[in-house]
Amino acid sequence: MKNFKDKNCLITGAASGIGRATAITMGRLGAKLFLTDINAKGLEETSQIITKEGGNVYEYQAFDISKYEEVKKFADEIHNEYGSMDVLMNIAGTSVWGTVDQLTHAHWQKMIDVDLWGPIHGIECFIPEMIRAGKGGHLVTISSAAGLVAFPWHAAYSAAKWGILGVCEVLRYDLMQHNISVTVVCPGAVDTPLKHSVEIAGVDKNHPEAKKLIERFTEHAVTPEKVAEIIVKSIKKKKFLVFTSFDIKLLYWFKRKMFPMYHMIMKKLNKLLNKVAEATRKT
């Protein structure tokens, strides 16, 4: 897919961050946009930005992608009026970090519901119609660097992100016969509102050490606009596994090619964050 003009494109998580940046980029490229997010105000703002630039937002609706019935209802409405999607982008997501003794069942449940079931619901509700239409297409899903490597405090988050990466790897081959390509994006640090809204179980985020950690994260962050540019290029080149920063690409290479080095890095990182956790523990 080299040209997005008049292509039906559904994007989840379009109210902010990577989702908004990608929606704006696709709008500039002439795609017919169908946008969702749980944040109704942010979603409306995204739609207005795209429309003012001359882009085409055909439908936008705020709902919770973790609720299958809501995703199915939106999908049925779109298919009945506009037909199948050409591009499906599962971008919506959230994050909770924490050591296993601080994570609650609700934390684990939230990660699986939003970050794993959410994309699966999009795949369930939109990909079969793409297959039936017989026009080919493209599936883009955001996983994470935490879906590739063992970052400290990321057990619950990684459960979802490793899971959806596995789903996409299977679909990469399952969907080839239908000329539907698959891209899974594994961002490292990205400068989105998520960096402020991320919940760190048991940690006081207002503590100076916690603030320092978040600032250090931001120093290495790429912009959502940069990620959107990478996503578009990846669709055009039919790339499967996509990185948004060199540091994560290098760490993943160490894991596969020089495991002792990877093992040492992860142990040191774990010790560092354990010190931060002790200093910032909520009382």
* Domain parsing of the chain, residue ranges: 8-280
User: Among 79-83, 116-120, 150-154, 195-199, which is the least confidently predicted range?
Assistant: 195-199
Mean pLDDT of 126-149: 97
pLDDT digits (tens, 9 = 90+) for 43-61: 999 999 999 999 999 999 9
Question: What pLDDT is attached to residue 207?
Answer: 74
Query: Domain 8-280 adopts which CATH fold?
Result: Rossmann fold (3.40.50)
Residue 27 has pLDDT above 60, yes or no: yes
Mean pLDDT of 60-77: 97
Mean pLDDT of 95-114: 94
Nearest to 85 by CA among 131, 40, 39: 131
Mean pLDDT of 57-85: 97
Nearest to 185 by CA among 126, 123, 248: 248
Mean pLDDT of 68-89: 97
pLDDT digits (tens, 9 = 90+) for 249-264: 999 999 999 999 999 9
Question: What pLDDT is attached to residue 217?
Answer: 66
Query: Would you state the structure tokens that stand for residue 3, as one six-digit string?
Result: 């040209």
Question: What pLDDT is attached to residue 275?
Answer: 83
pTM for the predicted model, two decimal places: 0.92
| Percent of the chain predicted with pLDDT > 90 | 79
- Measured in Å, how far apart are the chain's first and last C-alpha atoms? 54
Catalytic site residues? 157
Torsion of CA 171, 16, 58, 135, to 10 degrees: -20
Alpha helices by DSSP H, listed for the chain, are: 17-28, 40-52, 68-82, 105-111, 118-133, 155-174, 194-197, 208-219, 224-237, 246-257, 259-280
pLDDT digits (tens, 9 = 90+) for 172-182: 999 999 999 99
Using pLDDT thresholds of 50, 70 and 90, give the confidence band for residue 66. very high
Residue 283 has pLDDT above 60, yes or no: no
Using pLDDT thresholds of 50, 70 and 90, give the confidence band for residue 221. confident
